[in-house]
């Protein structure tokens, strides 16, 4: 909360300092890190097509802003001030964007109404809607009006398009999710991590990524069971979502296998350990390239499922918790049998044993996940083509 408040204190000073009156600005607004990842492929394409434009990215959440404030591909990175009429007027006056691109869920009524009043083209990219949202309720008139401020919608699925059309919004296309484009390029990059190769020493690898305590509660006993198993040597990499020292200490205390962490890897003979705890950020995507099986955290609790597309792009079979209803990509991949959901320790043991000991099942499941990524790319081009046509007169 402190970051949420203090981070917004100097937004207008930053805009005044970094944006000149004659600058051309493309403004992206994202909630947090996940939505930023959806914006990245669009930003990269626009930077090539419109080099005279500056990219402004605003965040709602500290968890996104604090990670990207110094290493974003944008020219200007700020918090978005809270949605008051006064804040919206000052922000838009200083930013004076040629176009505004909001990502996924971000609906800010005062900002949107003012953008419309100023005739600034505004789109929603990778949008996702559910019937339970206020816009589709009889009492949702105020927020429904905010939706009408967008010039165009690019949504992830047909269900979202149908919902918008049910309230009279027809300027909408099903583009898909730009995250598929984002992760599909990861496989072309250098994902080599020498210390991971040393640790694995050619063993089968299970990566547990972005795990929360609720995930650990159903995983730890299964991991510990390999203390007595000799038939199929397996190594585990655990990348917790929270990497505070006290959290890592508690996790290590629960593990009965030889365990090493990233922070002390240089003082250890890595291949002698069976569990590797990644107590740093920024490595998980590359680590997934070494996985034979991936457990993606967040869905055992209420924090929200983390990115399943990152391991899927490497052709890795995926296991998640049971609370994933709000994540259409997880629902779709589960229907295709490239992903499996668990709700307790017995489920974990059952699906992990099948994936570990049945090579054919593991490989087939991974191929389904990889094909799922490859068959769902293209959202970036659809969105960028619209923006290119909209910006052309201002260049």
CATH number at residue 284: 3.40.50.2000
Same domain, 215 and 304: yes
Residue 3 — very low, low, confident or very high, per pLDDT cuts 50/70/90? low
Helix (H, G, I), strand (E, B) or coil at 170: coil
Mean local confidence (pLDDT), 328-338: 96
Mean local confidence (pLDDT), 158-175: 96
CATH code: domain of residue 97 = 3.40.50.11720
Predicted pLDDT at 394: 45
Task: Tell me the residue ranges of DSSP E strands in 228-326.
Answer: 234-240, 259-261, 275-277, 293-296, 318-320
Q: At what angle do helices 359-374 and 345-357 cross, to 10 degrees?
A: 100
Same domain, 158 and 208: no
Q: What proportion of the chain, given as a percentage, has pLDDT over 70?
A: 96
Same domain, 23 and 162: yes
In a domain, 241, yes or no: yes
Residue 2 — very low, low, confident or very high, per pLDDT cuts 50/70/90? low
In a domain, 182, yes or no: no
Same domain, 267 and 350: yes
Same domain, 274 and 368: yes
Same domain, 335 and 358: yes
In a domain, 331, yes or no: yes
Indicate the pTM of the whole model.
0.86
Predicted pLDDT at 351: 98
Same domain, 155 and 242: no
Same domain, 139 and 201: no
Predicted pLDDT at 316: 98
Measure the CA–CA gap between 165 and 167, rounded to whole angstroms.
5
Same domain, 79 and 158: yes
Same domain, 153 and 234: no
CB 318 within 8 A of CB 312: yes
Same domain, 200 and 163: no
Highest-pLDDT range among 6-10, 237-241, 391-395? 237-241
Same domain, 147 and 194: no
Predicted pLDDT at 5: 53
Predicted pLDDT at 335: 97
In a domain, 303, yes or no: yes
Residues catalogued as catalytic:
35
Domains: count for the chain: 2
pLDDT surpassing 90 at residue 62: no
pLDDT surpassing 60 at residue 192: yes
Strand partners, 238: 208, 277
Domain that holds residue 76: 1-176+378-391
């Amino acid at each position: 909360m402190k970051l949420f408040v203090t981070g917004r204190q100097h937004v207008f000073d930053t805009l005044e300092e970094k944006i000149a009156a004659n600058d051309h600005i493309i403004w992206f607004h994202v909630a947090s890190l996940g939505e930023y990842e959806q914006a990245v492929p669009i930003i990269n394409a626009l930077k090539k097509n419109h080099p005279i434009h500056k990219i402004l990215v605003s965040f709602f959440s500290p968890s996104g802003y604090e990670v990207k404030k110094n290493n974003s591909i944008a020219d200007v990175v700020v918090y978005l001030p809270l949605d008051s009429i006064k804040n919206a007027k000052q922000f838009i006056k200083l930013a004076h964007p040629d176009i505004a691109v909001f990502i996924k869920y971000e609906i800010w009524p005062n900002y949107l109404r003012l953008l419309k009043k100023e005739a600034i083209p505004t789109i929603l990219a990778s949008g996702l809607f559910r019937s339970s949202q206020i816009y589709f309720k009889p009492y949702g008139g105020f927020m429904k009006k905010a939706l009408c401020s967008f010039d165009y919608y690019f949504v992830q699925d047909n269900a979202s398009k149908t919902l918008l059309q049910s309230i009279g919004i027809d300027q909408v296309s099903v583009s898909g999710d730009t995250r598929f484009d984002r992760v599909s390029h990861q496989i072309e990059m250098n994902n080599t991590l020498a210390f991971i190769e040393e640790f694995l020493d050619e063993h089968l690898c299970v990566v547990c990524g972005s795990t929360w305590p609720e995930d650990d509660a159903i995983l730890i006993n299964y991991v510990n069971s390999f203390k007595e198993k000799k038939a199929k040597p397996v190594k585990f990499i655990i990348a917790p979502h929270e990497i505070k020292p006290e959290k890592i200490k508690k996790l290590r205390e629960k593990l009965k296998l030889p365990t090493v962490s990233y922070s002390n890897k240089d003082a250890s003979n890595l291949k002698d350990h069976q569990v590797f705890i990644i107590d740093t950020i920024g490595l998980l995507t590359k680590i997934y390239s070494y996985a034979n099986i991936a457990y993606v955290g967040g869905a055992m609790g209420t924090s929200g499922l983390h990115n399943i597309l990152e391991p899927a792009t490497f052709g890795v079979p995926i296991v998640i918790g049971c609370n994933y209803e709000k994540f259409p990509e997880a629902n779709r991949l589960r229907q295709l049998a490239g992903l499996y959901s668990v709700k307790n320790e017995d489920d974990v043991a059952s699906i992990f044993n099948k994936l570990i000991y049945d090579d054919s099942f593991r490989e087939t499941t991974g191929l389904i996940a990889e094909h799922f990524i490859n068959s769902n790319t293209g959202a970036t081009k659809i969105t960028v083509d619209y923006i290119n046509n909209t910006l052309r007169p201002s260049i």
